[in-house]
Structure 1
Amino acid sequence: MKNRLFITCPKGVELLLEDEVQTLGLDSIQQSVGGIFAEGDLAAVYRVCLWSRLANRVIWLLAEAEVRTKEDLYRSVRDVYWPGCFALNKTFSVDFKGTNRFIKHSNYGGQLVKDGIVDAFNAEVGERPNVDSQSAQVHIFASVKRNRFMVGVDMAGGSLHRRGYRLAGAKAPLKENLAAALLVRAGVKTGEIQPVVDPMCGSGTLLIEAILTMLNIAPAIQRPSFGFEQILRHQPALWKEIYQDAVDKRDAAFASEARLIAYGYDADGRSIMAARDNATRAGVAEFIEFKPQSLKDFAPALPEPGVLVCNPPYGERLSDRNQLFGLYQLLGQKLRQHCEGWEAAILSSDDDLIKALGLQKSRAYQFMNGALKAQWVLFKLYRKDKTLNPPAELAPSVKISEGNVWEKSAARRNNEQAVSTPSENAVDGPQSERFKKGVDMVSNRLRKNRKHLKKWLKRADTDAYRIYDADMPEYAFALDCYGEFFQITEYSAPKSVDKFAAFSRRQQFEEAVREVFELTPGQLFFKERTRQKGTSQYVKLDDSKAFFRVQEGNAHLLVNLKDYLDTGLFLDHRPVRKMIGEQAKGKRFLNLFAYTSAATVQAAQGGALASVSVDMSQTYQSWSLRNFKANRLDLKRHLLVRANVIDWLSEARDQFDLIFLDPPSFSNSKRMDDTFDVQRDHVNLIHKTMGRLNQEGTLIFSNNRRGFRLDKVLESHFDIQDITAKTIDEDFKRNAKIHQCWIISHKK
């Protein structure tokens, strides 16, 4: 039996966590902010709790619901069969996250959840379990965001960043799972032994996590207990088998010839003592040398190059800024003197301090270190003359991150190619006044648009919408919001546009988006849209299967911002889908060129008796099935048909009351004998479609081909009404030619 899970992690780590849990046996993964949704059996849950280096909590979800009142929230908890989850004699606590219109404080939300659990026990067994907020045996997790509520059991029993080895720590320690994520980005991999050095190691977290990773030691193997041990579904024999396998792997690592492969230094002797104690508790003390030493004496003499990792003081950790600049300059000097051929990774929240290193960074990833925004900056230390930074105005700083504007969107995550920073003619670097003015100009426009859409969004009842659409011609981008995620789409620029100027504008636009909407790296995606020519088609970009839900009225629609140029949801068709939902009650609905069948979902939500959704793409048929399952559609009444629409119309005999026809502008699929061009072929297509429409029925015909003209010959056969203006929502009014739409019916 598979369990639906919500696995939390530090912000900025979501995409790494997705990769990790796939290797541990989870599937059906959907991204969120600060975590992922996934499915897996009990064995996979055990493996994630034991082996995940990146997760915080592993929540077994027992209820997910749309809640619009406090009574809805209470009922969704009360309806869970809690006596089947944990025994009456177990104490429990509730950790409630979030607020909304009717939950003004998380404590109140937590009390509602407690009441629901207690009342469920009273109704089923006549007694109630005790609440223990300090040392509960069962930890209940609940969360509300807008109207989406979920509740479940914390299978880890507390955050997995607590490995069990760190009892003492230097000031402002780095959490273990964030340290593990930073090491992944620095190139530290399981089974690949290489020297790792930290010249300011503090309590040793980065080095201990590096050893656990390289030697393939389960990070939670020292953890004294797990939450799943307290629930009724726990299978001790299965857990013992999985845990013993981890012990065997650890013992094999300890028996290997690998010794002394990490080196930690710190000027604070107390930190070195704490680091040694932590390494001893983790069982890896023999692999790490900790030595009290100031940075000015740092001079590693190792037989082969390795990786230098460091979390030096930054932000508010030292008040004397001049002292900080001197520290970073000294660190950069030591790297140039002693670490040629190495790779280095430095964590900092201050761009100016990174520049003080005097090194040319190869890329940077953004993370949240607690409440502090920080970047993990990577350097390749080749020859000394190559590491020095050119003047800032000639070398714009480029931040590379998952889904980031500077990343080649077609590159697989594990084989990313960094986009080269233009060093010639690129006069608008991030520190230039012109660059900053550009960021300010875009930021002001984004804030203006957001304010303009605020009232409309409440009426629209959606969290997927367009915010910006080339409002300023020199910034030729579209910006779309999909729940907690954002996508920038760059319109293809004419060849006459200077590529360095275009590059700088991309930087400015992304910087403004991040600033205005306060985004972490994993929340922002970038794509470039080019005009289709000849027989070209949009291609697959990735294979991450990174789906997540957005809301449109009562429907939950799955989108994917990584794998394809299109996201799975045409935002401009929102009013058309709403119209379909309003007209569908008691009718048979046909969706042609169904894409991901979002219109069918709205028809079903509106009360359609039955539906057929036809599309030739297996990818989109599978996506449609995901949408149907997410909305609990009856698959016997709502059918998916994979077929060439033209051929299917020629052979079909069923009649329908409501039809949605939204053909592509052009198609040359391998499953077609000929190409399809909507301007050339729409008359024949509409005639065939009207053959499937009941005499009193309605056809909604739409397409987005620029310059499309409906052939007037159709007016002699059918009643036709142009409703385009009614199908353009507030967020697309700046681009009223985004699509055209007609209602077509049989002549009376």
Structure 2
Amino acid sequence: MTKQTTYFATTARGFEEMLKTELTQLGTDDCPIECKIAQGGVHFTTNQKGVYKALLYTRLASRILLPLTQAKIFDEIDLYTTVVAYPWENIFDERDSIFIDFNGTNDEIRHSQFGAMRVKDGIVDHFEHKGLNRPSVDKEQPDIRIHAYLNREDIILSLDLSGDALHLRNYRSDTGKAPLRETLASVIVMRSGWQKETPLVDPMCGAGTLLIEAAQMMCNIPAQINRLHWGFDSWKGHQPAVWQAVTSEAKSAILSFDDIQFYGFDLDRRVIEKAKQNAVNAGVGHLIQFKFGDVAALKNPVEDKKGTVICNPPYGERLGTTPELIALYTVFGQRLKQHFAGWNVSIFSSEADLLNCLRLRSHRQFKAKNGPLDCIQKNYLLSDRKREENEIEQLKFDADAQLAPDFANRLKKNIKKIDKWATQQGLDCYRLYDADLPEYNLAVDRYGDHIVVQEYAAPKTIDEQKARQRLLDAVAATLSVTGIETNKLVLKVRQKQKGTNQYEKLANKGEYFHVTEYGAKLWVNLTDYLDTGLFLDHRLTRKMVGEMAKGKTFLNLFAYTGSATIHAALQGAKATTTVDMSNTYLNWAEQNLDLNDCDLRDHSLIQADCLQWLSDCRERFEVIFVDPPTFSNSKRMEDSWDVQRDHLELFKKLKRILTKDGTIIFSNNKRNFKMDLEGLTELGLVAENITEQTIPLDFERNKHIHNCWIVKNIDD
């Protein structure tokens, strides 16, 4: 029992020092534990009792390994030779099932699966060479798990004494979304600053892992108290009497508490029930109170004591999915300041920017990985000053006072002016803010009861982190000022577009709803594409086109979702032809026609390269609307397109299909576009710049957002 052996406890990168401390503290006079940190774990030397205690108690180790042999290997033959020569019959019996965990590669052994197979071959062949039966392989619950670690030419073969990974505590009945691994939960608790026997509150507790781990720590309940199977059960070096003594001693050392000291809240009632069952399974159900609760209504459940708020709130990997999270973190920070004065707070998240929405100043922070995500844990000490209830209305932000006040005030002012005008005009889709303030370089658009916030790419001179934070502040302020529900705000990050990528698919939610302008109903999709299906700045142009097309044949070229066609159809165009290269947008245009009860027999929809179609067209049209992209190099087009370079060639083709008294309405979004007036004259065409007449009130700050022209035949 006094024999000293060196073992290796693995853990996640960054947790080695904490694991060393944990293992050292488990040592006693009859089982001292000496530790040495290595990358990804801790070597520790102890006796049999010491390793049993480590296995039973550790909250931070992933596995505990007993190194058996190590060697230099240069190819798979060396690997096999090393394995087959080891006396495996001294470790386990021929009747025991095995599984090989192989980690690492080198120039000769390039796949871990191949390495595992050669280790398995060596083990079973060794037994066969000894005249014994070949052990079987069990991938699910093997009796013996062998761990092989290859680093360049060095191979270490170890017996995994853990069996299943040690983060599995066997108290989970089930989990909610994105469960937190128990080892990481323990790290978060240990780093949080929480003092045992003081209240611990988790406002977004999910399956309750943080609270359960903390409660077990307080009660000195071993992490693996519920484990039924161990990797050492079939090990020939196992000493059942020592193990029995360790477990009996551990059970007698468990501390008893009666009062509730842990409080968990969550919006998912089903997850709350699972958390309750998990706590019961872990032996701490009587100490934790789990309740249904919304962060927006969070109050302190322990008014007469000070403790710690700990939380692993949801976080998104893409900024475009975070409006609800911005709102969540913002209101969370407000509730903390209002109801938890003098408390310690510790929040774990992958988004440092979202943590900034708390509007709290951290005094300590730690880094960690949660699966593939780089995360950060920040600790805060809240001021003793308690905010009065009327300082923050429930479910509402105090953004006017704290978050982007200049932006919030400007948005309020714009809404007051533009909402009234839009109602008079019969519009429910329009721009509310368009980079009015240089430091808030974004647009805010209303689409019915939804809001779209689009960030413009910041100039290189602006610090990227500062621009990101201003965007988050502006989103929170927009939610406050407009009062919309968080799930009806869509956030888009817009960067400089190249070619046709403005039309590329971003998501596949398929969430369409219709908006209204001047009596036309139009489908929009705010999430799946960079654009929404409706260019708001062209609203007056569409209205004008519709009026001009009354009783005439109408062509909509580069038609996008056909919104101009709808206006023409509703104003009584004799017939319309809508041409676009995208089937997606033509189908969208067809849905728009159907939405407005237009007879599809009078409206032709054509999928084609518009320039090629023009060359082949044999019809003539009285009104033609052309709104080409600034630049395109689509694979489906024969050549690239540049509106400045190629517009004269386009007009040459348009003139051929334009009736003598016909009209072309030409628009594009290229700033500083110069119409080749002399070239048009040579073609027998004349152009009039009508841009000023087509810029609506909500875009009057940006008079260069598009340019628009009327082009006609020169009178003979």
TM-score of Structure 1 vs Structure 2, range by shorter chain: 0.5 to 0.7
- The CA deviation at 1:318 is 9.4
Note if contact 1:142-1:149 (Cα within 8 Å) is conserved in structure 2. yes
Q: Which consecutive unaligned segments of at least 5 residues does structure 2 have?
A: 388-397, 404-458, 466-716
- The CA deviation at 1:106 is 0.8
Structure 1 pair 312/127, CA: closer, same or farther in 2 (3 Å)?
same
Paired position in structure 2 for 1:215: 219
Paired position in structure 2 for 1:278: 278
Give the 3-state SS of the residue equivalent to 1:161 in structure 2: coil
Structure 1 pair 138/433, CA: closer, same or farther in 2 (3 Å)?
farther
Paired position in structure 2 for 1:232: 236
Paired position in structure 2 for 1:372: 373
Note if contact 2:180-2:209 (Cα within 8 Å) is conserved in structure 1. yes
Structure 1 pair 305/2, CA: closer, same or farther in 2 (3 Å)?
same
Paired position in structure 1 for 2:513: none
Structure 1 pair 48/435, CA: closer, same or farther in 2 (3 Å)?
farther
Structure 1 pair 294/264, CA: closer, same or farther in 2 (3 Å)?
same
Letter in 1 for 2:100: V
Note if contact 1:69-1:102 (Cα within 8 Å) is conserved in structure 2. yes
Letter in 2 for 1:263: Y
Paired position in structure 2 for 1:245: 249
- Equivalence map 1:470-619=2 (5 Å): none
Paired position in structure 1 for 2:140: 134
Note if contact 2:263-2:301 (Cα within 8 Å) is conserved in structure 1. no
Structure 1 pair 433/58, CA: closer, same or farther in 2 (3 Å)?
farther
Letter in 2 for 1:313: P
- The CA deviation at 1:16 is 0.4
Question: Alpha-carbon deviations, 1:691-735, whole Å to 9, x = none?
Answer: xxxxxxxxxxxxxxxxxxxxxxxxxxxxxxxxxxxxxxxxxxxxx
Higher Cα Rg, which structure: 2
Structure 1 pair 75/208, CA: closer, same or farther in 2 (3 Å)?
same
Kindly indicate whether residue 31 of structure 2 is the aligned counterpart of residue 29 of structure 1: no
Letter in 2 for 1:5: Y
Note if contact 1:366-1:375 (Cα within 8 Å) is conserved in structure 2. yes
What CA distance in whole angstroms lies between the structure 2 residues aligned with 1:288 and 1:53?
Answer: 20
The two structures have a TM-score, normalised by structure 2, of: 0.52
Paired position in structure 2 for 1:300: 300
Paired position in structure 1 for 2:199: 195
Kindly indicate whether residue 123 of structure 2 is the aligned counterpart of residue 123 of structure 1: no
Give the 3-state SS of the residue equivalent to 1:227 in structure 2: coil
The two structures have a TM-score, normalised by structure 1, of: 0.50
What CA distance in whole angstroms lies between the structure 2 residues aligned with 1:246 and 1:105?
Answer: 42
Note if contact 1:6-1:35 (Cα within 8 Å) is conserved in structure 2. yes
Paired position in structure 2 for 1:486: none
Paired position in structure 2 for 1:2: 4
The percent of aligned pairs where both chains have the same amino acid is 36
Note if contact 1:27-1:39 (Cα within 8 Å) is conserved in structure 2. yes
Question: Alpha-carbon deviations, 1:243-278, whole Å to 9, x = none?
Answer: 01111122xx23x4x420000000110110110010
Letter in 2 for 1:24: L
What CA distance in whole angstroms lies between the structure 1 residues aligned with 2:71 and 2:309?
Answer: 47
Paired position in structure 2 for 1:672: none
What CA distance in whole angstroms lies between the structure 2 residues aligned with 1:162 and 1:432?
Answer: 48
Letter in 2 for 1:281: N
Structure 1 pair 214/128, CA: closer, same or farther in 2 (3 Å)?
same
- The CA deviation at 1:434 is 9.2
Paired position in structure 1 for 2:120: 114
Give the 3-state SS of the residue equivalent to 1:7 in structure 2: strand
- The CA deviation at 1:234 is 0.7
What CA distance in whole angstroms lies between the structure 1 residues aligned with 2:359 and 2:385?
Answer: 11
Kindly indicate whether residue 163 of structure 2 is the aligned counterpart of residue 157 of structure 1: yes
Note if contact 1:3-1:61 (Cα within 8 Å) is conserved in structure 2. no
Single out whichever of 121-130 and 224-233 deviates more from structure 2: 121-130
- The CA deviation at 1:315 is 2.5
What CA distance in whole angstroms lies between the structure 2 residues aligned with 1:84 and 1:185?
Answer: 42
Structure 1 pair 229/207, CA: closer, same or farther in 2 (3 Å)?
same
Letter in 2 for 1:124: K
- The CA deviation at 1:355 is 0.7
What CA distance in whole angstroms lies between the structure 1 residues aligned with 2:204 and 2:460?
Answer: 33
Paired position in structure 1 for 2:713: none
Structure 1 pair 33/385, CA: closer, same or farther in 2 (3 Å)?
farther
- The CA deviation at 1:79 is 2.8
Paired position in structure 1 for 2:291: 291
Letter in 1 for 2:74: R
- The CA deviation at 1:125 is 4.0
Give the 3-state SS of the residue equivalent to 2:164 in structure 1: coil
Paired position in structure 2 for 1:355: 356
- The CA deviation at 1:3 is 2.4
What CA distance in whole angstroms lies between the structure 1 residues aligned with 2:23 and 2:267?
Answer: 38
What CA distance in whole angstroms lies between the structure 1 residues aligned with 2:240 and 2:315?
Answer: 46
Structure 1 pair 86/54, CA: closer, same or farther in 2 (3 Å)?
same
Note if contact 2:96-2:136 (Cα within 8 Å) is conserved in structure 1. yes
Letter in 1 for 2:167: H
Paired position in structure 1 for 2:46: 40
- The CA deviation at 1:41 is 1.7
Note if contact 1:188-1:214 (Cα within 8 Å) is conserved in structure 2. no
Paired position in structure 2 for 1:54: 60
Structure 1 pair 289/109, CA: closer, same or farther in 2 (3 Å)?
same
Note if contact 1:202-1:272 (Cα within 8 Å) is conserved in structure 2. yes
- The CA deviation at 1:40 is 2.0
- Equivalence map 1:615-634=2 (5 Å): none
- The CA deviation at 1:384 is 5.2
Find 2:79's aligned residue among 59, 73, 83.
73
Question: Alpha-carbon deviations, 1:590-640, whole Å to 9, x = none?
Answer: xxxxxxxxxxxxxxxxxxxxxxxxxxxxxxxxxxxxxxxxxxxxxxxxxxx
Give the 3-state SS of the residue equivalent to 2:82 in structure 1: helix
Structure 1 pair 231/212, CA: closer, same or farther in 2 (3 Å)?
same
Find 1:19's aligned residue among 2, 15, 21.
21
Letter in 2 for 1:11: R
What CA distance in whole angstroms lies between the structure 2 residues aligned with 1:223 and 1:27?
Answer: 23
- Equivalence map 1:677-688=2 (5 Å): none
Structure 1 pair 154/337, CA: closer, same or farther in 2 (3 Å)?
same
Note if contact 2:312-2:349 (Cα within 8 Å) is conserved in structure 1. yes
Letter in 2 for 1:93: F
Question: Alpha-carbon deviations, 1:211-248, whole Å to 9, x = none?
Answer: 00111111110111211111111111110000011111
Give the 3-state SS of the residue equivalent to 2:383 in structure 1: coil
- The CA deviation at 1:383 is 4.0
What CA distance in whole angstroms lies between the structure 1 residues aligned with 2:226 and 2:159?
Answer: 22
Note if contact 1:359-1:379 (Cα within 8 Å) is conserved in structure 2. yes
Single out whichever of 285-294 and 41-50 deviates more from structure 2: 41-50
Note if contact 1:318-1:324 (Cα within 8 Å) is conserved in structure 2. no
Letter in 1 for 2:25: T
Letter in 1 for 2:130: E
Single out whichever of 58-67 and 174-183 deviates more from structure 2: 58-67
Note if contact 1:98-1:143 (Cα within 8 Å) is conserved in structure 2. yes
State the Cα RMSD in Å. 2.7
Paired position in structure 2 for 1:452: none
Give the 3-state SS of the residue equivalent to 1:212 in structure 2: helix
Note if contact 1:361-1:379 (Cα within 8 Å) is conserved in structure 2. yes
Paired position in structure 2 for 1:266: 266
Letter in 2 for 1:381: L
Give the 3-state SS of the residue equivalent to 2:56 in structure 1: helix
Question: Alpha-carbon deviations, 1:68-127, whole Å to 9, x = none?
Answer: 222222233223211000111111111111222111111001011111211222233433
- Equivalence map 1:417-428=2 (5 Å): none
Structure 1 pair 320/8, CA: closer, same or farther in 2 (3 Å)?
same
Structure 1 pair 75/187, CA: closer, same or farther in 2 (3 Å)?
farther
